[in-house]
C-alpha cells in the first residue's frame, strides 16, 4: 500500500532552535496516528509544516505520491488536508451553522443548491453532537463545544487527512467518550493524525504512536510497544504519570 503522507528529512529552524530536525515520517491511508511528546517537542510545528501553515527550512513533504512541499496551505486543503488548531479558530460572531457552512461551500463548488450545503453542514454538526446548537453564536458555546465545532468545520471539508491538535482539551468525560467514537467513525473515510496529551485517549484511539522529543522522532510503534519503551518512559510518560 502506498503511504498517504511521507516526510523526508523535514526540518524547520527558528534561529538556532531546531523545532523540527530532519524528520522522516510515514502515514498510511486509514490509519489513526497519535503524536505525543513533552511540550516544545516539535509536534505542532511538524503538523503546521504538513498543513502548509509553515514552510520548511529543508526537506520534503509527499502527499498521495505528489511533492507538496511548496504548495500553499489553501491548496493543500483542496487536496484533502484539513487541520484543526490547538487554539480554536472559529468565527465567534457567526452561528455554529455558518461556521461550518463556510468550509462546506468549498467542497460544493459545482453549483449545487443551498439544500446541499445545509445537508453537509447538518451532517457535520450531527456527527460532532452539535446539531441542537446550530443557531447558537459560536462565541457563546462552551470551550469544549467550540473545539467540537472546529472538528465539524474540518469534517465539512471532506478531508482525506484530518489533523487534530489537542482535540480533547476542554471536553468533559462524556464528550471525550463521544469523541473517541467519532474518530473511529472518521477513520472509515479519512486518515487521522492527532496531537494529544490525554494518554488514555491516545492508547484507546491510536493504531500507532509517534513520540517526538527535541524536534526528532524518539520512538514509533503500537500503543503497547510505546507504553513499554524505556526511553519514552524517561522522556515523557514518566513525567505525565509521575
Say which range, 32-41, 91-100, 101-110, has the weakest mean pLDDT: 101-110
If asked whether residues 72 and 167 sit together in one domain, one would say yes
How does the average pLDDT of the chain come out, rounded? 91
User: Cα-atom radius of gyration of the chain, to the nearest Å?
Assistant: 18
Question: Which pLDDT band, with edges at 50, 70 and 90, does 242 fall under?
Answer: very low
Q: Of 110, 130, 158, which residue constitutes the final position of a domain?
A: 158
pLDDT tens for each residue of 190-226: 999 999 999 999 999 999 999 999 999 999 999 999 9
Domain of 96? 89-158
If asked whether residues 73 and 114 sit together in one domain, one would say no
If asked whether residues 191 and 103 sit together in one domain, one would say no
Question: Which pLDDT band, with edges at 50, 70 and 90, does 241 fall under?
Answer: very low
Residue 34's CATH number: 3.40.50.300
pLDDT tens for each residue of 50-67: 999 999 999 999 999 999
If asked whether residues 132 and 119 sit together in one domain, one would say yes
87: number of Cβ within 10 Å: 8
Cell (9 digits) for 4: 498517504
pLDDT number for residue 1: 83
pLDDT tens for each residue of 149-182: 999 999 998 999 999 998 898 888 988 998 999 9
Q: Does the pLDDT at position 231 exceed 90?
A: no
If asked whether residues 176 and 230 sit together in one domain, one would say yes
If asked whether residues 42 and 145 sit together in one domain, one would say no
If asked whether residues 46 and 94 sit together in one domain, one would say no
If asked whether residues 242 and 164 sit together in one domain, one would say yes
If asked whether residues 150 and 164 sit together in one domain, one would say no
If asked whether residues 116 and 186 sit together in one domain, one would say no
pLDDT number for residue 84: 81
Return the exposure string of 206-237: e unless at least 16 CB atoms fall within 10 Å of the residue's CB, then b: bebbbbbbebbbbbbeebeebeebeebbebbb
If one counts the domains in the chain, the total is 2
Q: Quick check: pTM over 0.85?
A: yes
If asked whether residues 65 and 96 sit together in one domain, one would say no
If asked whether residues 75 and 164 sit together in one domain, one would say yes
Q: Of 158, 192, 214, which residue constitutes the final position of a domain?
A: 158
Amino acid at each position: 500500500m502506498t503511504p498517504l503522507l511521507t516526510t523526508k528529512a523535514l526540518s524547520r529552524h527558528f534561529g538556532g532552535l531546531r523545532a523540527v530536525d530532519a524528520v522522516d515520517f510515514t502515514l498510511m491511508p486509514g490509519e489513526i496516528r497519535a503524536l505525543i511528546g513533552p511540550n516544545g517537542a516539535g509536534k505542532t510545528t511538524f503538523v503546521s509544516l504538513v498543513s502548509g501553515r509553515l514552510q520548511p527550512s529543508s526537506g520534503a513533504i509527499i502527499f498521495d505520491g505528489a511533492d507538496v512541499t511548496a504548495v500553499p496551505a489553501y491548496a493543500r486543503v483542496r487536496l484533502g488536508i484539513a487541520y484543526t488548531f490547538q487554539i480554536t479558530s472559529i468565527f465567534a460572531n457567526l452561528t455554529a451553522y455558518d461556521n461550518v457552512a463556510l468550509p462546506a461551500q468549498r467542497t460544493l463548488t459545482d453549483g449545487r443548491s443551498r439544500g446541499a450545503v445545509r445537508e453537509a453542514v447538518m451532517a457535520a454538526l450531527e456527527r460532532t453532537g452539535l446539531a441542537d446548537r446550530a443557531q447558537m453564536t459560536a462565541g457563546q458555546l462552551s470551550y469544549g463545544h467550540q473545539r467540537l465545532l472546529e472538528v465539524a468545520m474540518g469534517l465539512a471539508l471532506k478531508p482525506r487527512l484530518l489533523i487534530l491538535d489537542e482535540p480533547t482539551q476542554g471536553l468533559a468525560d462524556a464528550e471525550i467518550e463521544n469523541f473517541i467514537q467519532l474518530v473511529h467513525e472518521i477513520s472509515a473515510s479519512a486518515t487521522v493524525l492527532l496531537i494529544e496529551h490525554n494518554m488514555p485517549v491516545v492508547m484507546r484511539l491510536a493504531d500507532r504512536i509517534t513520540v517526538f522529543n527535541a524536534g526528532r522522532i524518539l520512538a514509533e510503534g503500537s500503543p503497547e510497544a510505546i507504553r513499554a519503551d524505556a526511553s519514552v518512559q524517561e522522556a515523557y510518560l514518566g513525567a505525565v504519570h509521575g
